[in-house]
Amino acid sequence: MAKRPTILDVARHAGVSKSTVSLVLQNSALVKDSTREKVTQSMTALNYVYNRSAAGLRGTPSGLIGLIINDLRNPFFTEFAASAQMRFAEAGYSTVIANADENPEIQAQVIAAMIEHGVSAFVLSPSYGGDAEAFDRIARAGKPAMQVMRKADDRTDLFPLYAPDFAHGGELATDHLMQLGCRSIAFVGGLEDRSVTAERMSGYYQVMAREGATPRVLSGRPTKNFGRAVALKFAEEPAAPEAAVCFSDLVALGMLSGFAEAGIALGRDFRLVGFDDIEDAATAFPPLSSIHCGPQEIGIETAETMLHWLDEGEKPAPERRTAVSLIARRSSLGSNEPVTPLDPRLDPPS
Amino acid sequence: MAKRPTILDVARHAGVSKSTVSLVLQNSALVKDSTREKVTQSMTALNYVYNRSAAGLRGTPSGLIGLIINDLRNPFFTEFAASAQMRFAEAGYSTVIANADENPEIQAQVIAAMIEHGVSAFVLSPSYGGDAEAFDRIARAGKPAMQVMRKADDRTDLFPLYAPDFAHGGELATDHLMQLGCRSIAFVGGLEDRSVTAERMSGYYQVMAREGATPRVLSGRPTKNFGRAVALKFAEEPAAPEAAVCFSDLVALGMLSGFAEAGIALGRDFRLVGFDDIEDAATAFPPLSSIHCGPQEIGIETAETMLHWLDEGEKPAPERRTAVSLIARRSSLGSNEPVTPLDPRLDPPS
DNA sequence: CTGAAAGCGCTTACAG
DNA sequence: CTGAAAGCGCTTACAG
């Protein structure tokens, strides 16, 4: 394997100085078009590959974004990550995605590694717990960083927060069930010590209080297993609630599965609203009502906010909440809603 | 923001030469313990951050692995990616994950960017289509690269393939349904021009031929929507098959949802086997029989194979197939299988 | 065990 | 518009 060609090789091949080649590389207007073309041809002829390490050494920003996700196996976050990455790519930035697996130690380690690798900025949907050290390190390195979805560090002046209006989502979901005539509504899933849980639950508490209804909260991990277990429990309970707002669609889909198992018809015997509106919510049977948080939109907007910060130097507001909406489907409405007709040939090509 | 300290600053602070600091950085045995400690202390005191760009310029490998995934939104691949990343991290390598979104152009672009950023190696679950150019570029850059799950480039001598034994999986699934007394078995989902589809289908064809049964193939995108549509279609067909092997769990879960909608009981009126054994398969109702491909295990083993290549210089065999197994659940067996008891408190903490 | 020196491949003023 | 020169922060022989 021959040594990789450098700008000096290209310069020799094209018969110019290496500064000129460098100028071509930055797309500088200082270079005559004919010269630029000559140089470009030499580059392809020699199979030249730009060496970003060398550029980085001279202080050129790496054009790398560190995207750290608390749980990449959760489709809600995967969608967020994938769309943020797309948007960054359109703007010419490469994105390093890492999964912290809800583990603050892995998160800290990943942050350290990314700083060494010279990322230009961080976007993190952070893992809870751990000390502030990881965030401190970002601050010391002087890297722009945004927290998305969840607030793990309170210094939103340093690490602006961008998240859906979860509290309003909880309100919408509970209101919806109230309007369908339910009074006895449970809130299922979510770990109590987390800000997201508190926010989602606050809207629920608020509506329940307003209507003089008694709240019932079943906290737990936001997993299908937990949801399924709660549904099976409800199925055997004489005084089970009539409806539930779930912490997440994962919990709700678990409940849906548990109710199917117990022979309880959703939308009739029990009304259910999830949270996040992941793809599976629409495809489930019966289709699951959910609070649409738009992870894709958030991914795109987060990327744009960060690009603005990076390119214009304009720091975003400490906290910004995006609108959420209720998507009512048959898990709460019941079967009076028409079923979407579906034909295999209509499946959109990708 | 003060300038980042360099090894020279550390050297001054510690009262040694910068070579010594560099030696400490590489954990060289040449440095006296007391000196090493002094230097380490100076590093933390000055808040020193290692600059990999500078090291990269001198030829030090970046310790970066490029992991390119055809579809990061598909949980099967997400699990693979997440576990490979974990394994690399344990070995001190950072992983850059990118989603190509089944788009060979994005894939090519991502590969180019990663080469510029100096990744040490590639692991790709490739997107189909596109020319060989992207792979050529990897080859020219002299980077070790493995294809996983799918073969997009035939040069497995250059880009070794590591994939589950899909053909055997198709065989196991079809055999299983035969043993349950089915003769009229369809194969549902999967795009025809893809190697993975051909492999999964080949096992199906083989068993059908052996048993003298007539195959029936419904090709289509591997999505829940497609599965649901096929199920609804079967529900109205007088001569519908008795069972199906699905290209993937996504398709099977779509069918499961469609059958629920049509009031057809799985395991009794129709028997279903999926492919991949994603997490949702076990949680669905009824639980979905599937071919376990072990994306996590493959992720770990792929990482280990690559680490071996990188650290020992030993190139893996051109093609390696990992064992698959049938996980029989109620979607094929029917309800004679006992239901797993489940208690919310048993949900494992994470 | 430690120091002085060269050089990795770029970018950036500074002259021309 | 283009060339010569310095320097970014490391690593790597080579002396001592």
CA distance A82 to chain B (A): 7
- What is the percent of chain B with per-residue pLDDT over 90, rounded to a whole number? 71
Q: Indicate if the pLDDT at residue B169 is higher than 80.
A: yes
Which position has the token pair 């919510």? Answer: A281
State residue A32 phi and psi, 5-degree precision.
-65, 145
Strand partners, A68: A98, A124
Residue of A nearest to B109 (CA): A89
User: Which of A4, A94, A278 is the best mutation test for B, with the most CBs of B within 10 A?
Assistant: A94
Q: Which nucleotide is nearest to B34 (CA to C1')?
A: C1
CA distance A322 to A165: 6
Q: Indicate if the pLDDT at residue B124 is higher than 90.
A: yes
Using an 8 Å Cβ cutoff, are A320 and A162 in contact? Answer: yes
* pLDDT at B31 (0 to 100): 84
Distance set, CA B283 to CA A260, B162, B227 (Å): 12, 28, 18
Q: Indicate if the pLDDT at residue B347 is higher than 70.
A: no
Q: What size, in residues, is chain A?
A: 350
Whether residues A280 and B115 touch (CB distance < 8 A) is answered with no
As given in the structure block, the two tokens for residue A244 are 């539930």
Sign of the torsion formed by the C-alpha atoms of B5, B7, B8 and B13? positive
Three-state SS sequence of chain B: CCCCCCHHHHHHHHCCCHHHHHHHHCCCCCCCHHHHHHHHHHHHHHCCCCCHHHHHHCCCCCCEEEEEECCCCCHHHHHHHHHHHHHHHHCCCEEEEEECCCCHHHHHHHHHHHHHCCCCEEEEECCCCCCCHHHHHHHHHCCCEEEECCCCCCCCCCCCEEEECHHHHHHHHHHHHHHCCCCCEEEECECCCCHHHHHHHHHHHHHHHHCCCCCEEECECCCHHHHHHHHHHHHHCCCCCCEEEECCHHHHHHHHHHHHHHCCCECCCEEEECCECCHHHHHCCCCCEEEECCHHHHHHHHHHHHHHHHHHCCCCCCEEEECCEEECCHHHHCCCCCCCCCCHHHCCCC
Residue of A nearest to B53 (CA): A53
Task: Catalogue the E-assigned strands of A168-289.
Answer: 185-188, 216-218, 243-246, 271-273
* pLDDT at B56 (0 to 100): 86
CA distance A141 to B51: 12
Q: Indicate if the pLDDT at residue A346 is higher than 50.
A: no
Write the DSSP symbol of residue A267: T
Q: Indicate if the pLDDT at residue B191 is higher than 70.
A: yes
CA distance B80 to B125: 10
As given in the structure block, the two tokens for residue B115 are 């080469």
Highest mean pLDDT pick, A68-72, A137-141, B19-23, B32-36 = A68-72
Taking only the tens place, the pLDDT of each residue in B277-335 is 998 899 898 999 999 999 999 999 999 999 999 988 899 999 999 999 999 999 999 97
What single-letter amino acid sits at A108? Answer: A
CA distance B185 to B178: 8
More confident residue, A18 or A173: A173
Q: Indicate if the pLDDT at residue A160 is higher than 60.
A: yes
- What is the percent of chain A with per-residue pLDDT over 90, rounded to a whole number? 71
Distance set, CA B304 to CA A83, A285, A335 (Å): 30, 41, 51
Cβ of B28 near strand D (under 7 Å)? The reply is no
Distance set, CA B76 to CA B70, B71, B83, B196 (Å): 11, 9, 11, 14
Strand partners, B97: A97, B67
pTM, entire model: 0.86
* pLDDT at B4 (0 to 100): 79
- What is the percent of chain A with per-residue pLDDT over 70, rounded to a whole number? 95
Q: What is the mean pLDDT of residues B215-235?
A: 96
Whether residues A257 and B49 touch (CB distance < 8 A) is answered with no
Using an 8 Å Cβ cutoff, are B324 and B293 in contact? Answer: yes
Confidence tier at B131 by pLDDT (50, 70, 90): confident
Question: Rounded to the nearest 10 degrees, how much is the dihedral formed by the CA atoms of B167, B172, B173, B178?
Answer: 130
Residue of A nearest to B340 (CA): A229
Which position has the token pair 């009539």? Answer: A242
State residue A156 phi and psi, 5-degree precision.
-70, -10
Q: Indicate if the pLDDT at residue A343 is higher than 80.
A: no
Q: Indicate if the pLDDT at residue A201 is higher than 70.
A: yes
Q: Pick the range with the lowest mean pLDDT from A53-67, A144-158, A191-205, A248-262.
A: A53-67
What single-letter amino acid sits at B309? Answer: W
Distance set, CA A106 to CA A115, B25, B63, B85, B260 (Å): 14, 22, 17, 11, 41
* pLDDT at B30 (0 to 100): 83
More confident residue, B46 or B210: B210
Whether residues A225 and B116 touch (CB distance < 8 A) is answered with no
Strands A64-69 and B145-148: unpaired
CA distance A88 to A94: 7
Q: What is the mean pLDDT of residues A236-257?
A: 96
* pLDDT at B349 (0 to 100): 37
Number of CB pairs < 8 Å for A and B?
A: 184
CA distance B45 to B15: 14
Q: Indicate if the pLDDT at residue B90 is higher than 50.
A: yes
Whether residues B75 and A72 touch (CB distance < 8 A) is answered with no
Buried b (16+ CB within 10 A) or exposed e, A275-292: bbbbebbebbbbbbbbbb
- Residues of chain B with C-beta less than 8 angstroms from the C-beta of A56: 53
Nucleotides of C under 7 A from a protein CB: 1-5, 7-13
CA distance A343 to B315: 47
Highest mean pLDDT pick, A129-143, B39-53, B215-229 = B215-229
Q: What is the mean pLDDT of residues B186-194?
A: 94
Confidence tier at A340 by pLDDT (50, 70, 90): very low
For chain A, the average pLDDT equals: 91
Q: Which nucleotide is nearest to B31 (CA to C1')?
A: C1
Q: Indicate if the pLDDT at residue B239 is higher than 70.
A: yes
For chain A, report the end-to-end CA distance as a whole number of angstroms. 39
Confidence tier at B336 by pLDDT (50, 70, 90): low
Beta-carbon contacts of A103 under 8 Å, excluding residues fewer than 6 positions away, are A127
Q: What is the mean pLDDT of residues B190-196?
A: 91
Taking only the tens place, the pLDDT of each residue in A26-71 is 888 888 888 899 999 999 998 899 998 898 888 888 899 999 999 9
Question: Rounded to the nearest 10 degrees, how much is the dihedral formed by the CA atoms of B6, B9, B14, B17?
Answer: 80
Confidence tier at B29 by pLDDT (50, 70, 90): confident
* pLDDT at B17 (0 to 100): 87
Whether residues B57 and A73 touch (CB distance < 8 A) is answered with no
Confidence tier at B110 by pLDDT (50, 70, 90): very high
